[in-house]
Structure 1
């Protein structure tokens, strides 16, 4: 069955649910977990900022994003370790989060992606987009959606 789960997280209350559900599921399957966080890079430079300020903003954003990822992944790792689940965590910056999730699953040799969906409905998806739908389109792996 499934032996290696990719679990995208972002530190939100919804991702807390994904963490606990994936740990419980991995325990039942005897599987390992790879947690993944993808953060968007900073927006393009505006005409009101100097090049020097933009470069400082890029560096600051990268540091904040990496610190956030380390904190979330560390918390997830503690929970997985307490449950006896083999764990790995990874972080990337990407413009297309859904593509980054699909790529991470493929590169890490995962055989199932476990994601939480907001369940906004068609209008909400149109308005805000759907990372889950994007992953379904971009990946050939099975996807377990938690609602």
Structure 2
């Protein structure tokens, strides 16, 4: 039914758990998976006229975020290999993660986006919830929102 499924993650435990459920869903549907991590865009310090020597340059930031993203996507890659699911990954840079996910899913001709509703706790939970809401509002393709079962 679904040929290509996009599964975003923020690297948190609940987000990773939802992503692994997405891999299982993809295996059941014999679908290909594209794992996605959206990193914030590089921000130049605005409080000084020159960049402090301890502040990372844009290339260092880019390399670090790509490394972090690959670490976050690794559990998905391993699960996909075990399940026999074709897997590829993308690291995106955007301050509007919801828009980046929706745009990437369209550009990659995905049939479905599978994502958790809350990947973090506290304020992060609110922010990721808003990412899910943004994706739901922007996408013209189906979005399957995975809700984690509460531990008793």
TM-score bin (small chain)? 0.7 to 0.9
| More helix by percentage | 1
Q: Is the 8 A contact 2:16 2:75 kept in 1?
A: no
Q: Is the 8 A contact 1:113 1:143 kept in 2?
A: yes
Alignment partner, residue 9 of structure 1:
9
Q: Is the 8 A contact 2:13 2:119 kept in 1?
A: no
After the TM superposition, list the runs of 4 or more consecutive aligned residues in structure 1 that deviate by more than 6 angstroms: none
Structure 1 range deviating more: 31-40 or 11-20: 11-20
Aligned counterparts of 1:55 and 1:94: Cα–Cα separation in 2: 20
Aligned counterparts of 1:119 and 1:44: Cα–Cα separation in 2: 27
Aligned counterparts of 2:81 and 2:116: Cα–Cα separation in 1: 21
Aligned counterparts of 2:91 and 2:73: Cα–Cα separation in 1: 9
Alignment partner, residue 80 of structure 1:
80
Aligned residue-pair number: 143
Gaps of 5+ in 1: none
Alignment partner, residue 26 of structure 1:
26
Alignment partner, residue 109 of structure 1:
109
SS at match of 2:38: strand
Gaps of 5+ in 2: 148-152
What are the Cα deviations for residues 8-38 of structure 1, in whole angstroms up to 9, with x where unaligned? Answer: 0121112221222111111111111100111
Q: TM-score, normalised by structure 1?
A: 0.85
Aligned counterparts of 1:98 and 1:6: Cα–Cα separation in 2: 13
Alignment partner, residue 64 of structure 1:
64
